[in-house]
């Protein structure tokens, strides 16, 4: 039986993956990598608004929040037509934050039910 979850691929730079019409690009730290041409869409993950700066996968955003919360929001928007249909996510975390972003997703039951990390 095929795994119907949305595939997630973490990459160090948005240029590392060729754009695909079925793939949503998620970039971190408010970075605008350029046009979303060729992608199903692009989402720029903004850090939480607090009195201090922290990473999207930080401990104050866990266990539900950060990347896992964003992914839940993307799943809902995809299901309700708020985003173009996508079957893959390419996630470009800020430098040095990939482990935190992965942990945010891997520790979240809902994210695990809807998404699977490919790499």
More confident residue, 34 or 10: 10
**DSSP assignment of 63-117:** SSSHHHHHHHHHHHHHHHTSS---SEEEEEPPTT-HHHHHHHHHT-HHHHHHEEE
Of 15-19, 64-68, 107-111, which has the strongest mean pLDDT? Answer: 107-111
Indicate whether 87 belongs to any domain.
Answer: yes
Examine residue 42 and state whether it is found in any structural domain, yes or no: yes
Q: Per the domain annotation, does 68 fall within a domain?
A: yes
In a domain, 95, yes or no: yes
- Per-residue pLDDT reduced to its tens digit, 4-16: 999 999 998 756 7
pLDDT the model gives residue 83: 92
pLDDT in tens, 76-86: 999 999 999 99
pLDDT of residue 49: 53
Please check whether residue 18 lies inside any domain of the structure.
yes
Give first-to-last CA distance, the chain, whole Å: 21
Residue of higher predicted confidence among 51 and 109:
109
Per-residue pLDDT tens over the stretch 101-115 = 888 888 889 999 999
Say what the pLDDT of residue 58 is. 56
Kindly tell me if the per-residue pLDDT of 116 is higher than 90.
yes
- Establish if 1 belongs to a structural domain: no
Three-state secondary-structure class, residue 16: helix
Residue 111 lies in a domain: yes
For range 88-107, the mean pLDDT: 87
What is the extent of the structural domain holding 54?
Answer: 6-117
Instruction: Specify the DSSP class assigned to residue 52.
Output: S
Count of structural domains within the chain: 1
- Residue 97 has a pLDDT of 85
Confirm whether 35 is domain-assigned.
yes
């Amino acid at each position: 039986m095929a795994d119907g979850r949305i595939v997630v691929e973490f990459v160090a730079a948005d240029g590392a993956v060729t754009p695909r019409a079925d793939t949503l690009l998620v970039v971190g730290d408010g970075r605008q990598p350029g046009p979303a041409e060729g992608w199903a869409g692009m989402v720029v993950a903004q850090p939480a608004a607090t009195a201090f700066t922290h990473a999207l996968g930080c401990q104050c955003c866990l266990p539900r929040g950060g990347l896992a919360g964003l992914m839940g929001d993307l799943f809902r928007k995809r299901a309700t037509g708020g985003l173009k249909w996508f079957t893959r996510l390419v996630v470009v975390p800020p430098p040095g934050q990939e482990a935190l972003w992965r942990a945010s997703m891997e520790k979240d039951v809902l994210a695990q039910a809807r998404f699977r990390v490919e790499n």
